[in-house]
Amino acid sequence: MGSTSKNLGSPLAVEVEIRAEKASAMRRVAHRVESLLAELSKVEVASLGTQGAERARHVARHQALRAEAEKQRWYLIVQREAMGLYRHDDIDELYRLPPPLR
């Protein structure tokens, strides 16, 4: 049996692969949060000047998107903590949730 430059059976290679997958998962969640925040912004703009039932639809959509963004943001924090990152000031700054639409 010959040795290869990629010793895929080694504990180090497995650890590298696990960390890469964790980073990839974290990146996917971060993109999801960014997408939700962008959609929230669109709903806020679309709601300007609306009233009655139309306003209520925008408020309901905003509430649903905001709840999902909050959940996804929490998932991101959990994943960061699983990787040993316990300070989340950057998450608070980068992925700030807008106030609820009224």
DSSP designation for 51: -
At 23-50, the pLDDT tens digits run 899 999 999 999 999 999 999 999 999 9
Q: What is the pLDDT of residue 22?
A: 86
What is the percent of the chain with per-residue pLDDT over 70, rounded to a whole number? Answer: 92
pLDDT computed for residue 2 by the predictor: 47
Give the SS3 label for residue 87.
Answer: coil
pLDDT of residue 59: 98
Please, what's the b/e burial string for 14-42 (b: 16 or more CB within 10 A of its CB; e: otherwise)? Answer: eeeeeeeeeeeebeebbebbeebbebbee
Neighbours of 2 (CB within 10 A): 3
Residue 4 has pLDDT above 60, yes or no: no
